[in-house]
Amino acid sequence: MAPLTPPSDLVQLEQWLARIATTAASDPQGAARALQGWRAAAQARAEQLTAAEEACAAALARRDALRGRWLAYRAKAGAAALDEDPVVSDALAALKERLWTAPCELGAAERQLISLARLLDHRGACAGEE
């Protein structure tokens, strides 16, 4: 995925503001109305950018929490010697690949993590019966 960069229309904005400043000398009310409209549009855009930033931060926090749970399950598997079980080992590896690769489909990772927890519980119960 290509990095997301801000739009490069700052030169156009500078030119537009220069025209507003020039207009202000002959039509101060018109210039004020134009700036007021621009300010409202800029505020709306700033709110959109803030919401997008918050959504990204929330997704990163969710991914980090899932990674933490993966680490805990890996430790649990190791403590019970289940990490030597090929099925458990493959499940751990597949989930690690998903969680440490971008982009990460968080819903799928969460479902996979639940499956891993169930697998560990099942394999642990089976190992306890032996």
Could you give the 3-state DSSP secondary structure of residue 80?
Answer: coil
More confident residue, 130 or 66: 66
2 part of a folded domain: no
Distance (Å, whole) CA 83 – CA 89:
5
Based on the structure, what is the number of domains in the chain? 1
* Tens-place pLDDT, residues 4-53: 455 567 777 787 778 878 888 888 888 788 788 778 888 998 999 999 99
5 part of a folded domain: no
Q: What is the pTM of this model?
A: 0.70
3 part of a folded domain: no
Full DSSP string of 19-56: HHHHHHHH-HHHHHHHHHHHHHHHHHHHHHHHHHHHHH
Provide the residue range defining the domain that includes 24: 10-129
pLDDT at 127 over 80: no
pLDDT of residue 130: 57
22 part of a folded domain: yes
* Tens-place pLDDT, residues 57-116: 999 999 999 999 999 999 999 999 998 999 999 999 999 999 999 999 999 999 999 999
pLDDT of residue 50: 96
